[in-house]
Structure 1
Amino acid sequence: MFQPSQKLKNEITISEFKIFPESSIPIKYQSIQQTLDSTGIKQMKALLALKTKEIKDKDNKILALQTSNQQIIKKYEMQSRQINTLIKQFQESEEKLQILTQKLTWTIKQLNLRDAELKINGLRKEKGKKLEIVHLVKDFYVPKLNVTQEELQIINQYLTE
């Protein structure tokens, strides 16, 4: 059978727990709640510590990668400067080599002209008509005296050797 008083009593008990402060909750329930609260806090603290450690580890890895990248960049910058220095030295050496080649070519032409001069002077029998080649100007010689066609051929022959 239906017992209205029993149902009403149960409702009042439930509402008592809802209305009254924690002090009215039986001690048994309070200790369970405190245990749950402290366990939850401990778990949250442990989880927070774990996440904090993970973040610090990731930060350390990022910092290590940044440091490594900076070292690699510095290394490549230094190597780039060394390569640029070597290129500059090579270009300077190339310019010096060109100058030396020009001087050597000039000297060879001067020697060849001197050989031609000696040969022509040997061919000339008159003392007053010695041929003196004065200087070379951009691959052209300038003799002091007029040169015959035969002598010009001798000079050209020596210059092409």
Structure 2
Amino acid sequence: MIRTLTTTAAMLAIAAGAAFADSHSDDDDDDDRGFGLAGILSASNKEDLPPITLSAGMPLADAPWVLKSGTYYEFEIEADGSQELALTGSEFFRAIWIDEIVIEGLEIRPLGLDSVEFDEAGVMEIGFLAIKPGSYVLMVPGSTGETQRLEITIE
């Protein structure tokens, strides 16, 4: 009796699996419901920011950034190699979610960031999601000039 029940259950499981496989075959386009990427990752929620320039004695940016919480942003840091320069802003980096950092085609997906440094000329692209509203600063460490800092507000 138990053997008959086990055999019957096994045959029912095989039949159910076959029916499921048929209803979800590769030829079936029912899995495409016409939806795009979810909310914050959609292309309509992405903005490009002006680049930050790392150059001896030159301003980092033309104007402060005003960002909106929940929006995805991308920007480039361009270093001309005139001097070994870093950019620090741990409070800002903790107020955002960094999606990726791209350096010469290499993609880095960090859990966090405190600062970046350029020993020579190069370009770095950072993609992030603004999260925590507040006022933040990115700056060249040890500098006191207003042009060596970028004021950032997340609304």
User: TM bucket by the smaller chain?
Assistant: under 0.3
Q: Normalising by structure 1, what TM-score?
A: 0.18
**Bigger radius of gyration among the two:** 1
Higher strand share: 2
Q: Normalising by structure 2, what TM-score?
A: 0.19
Higher normalized contact order (CA 8 Å, seq sep 6+, divided by chain length): 2
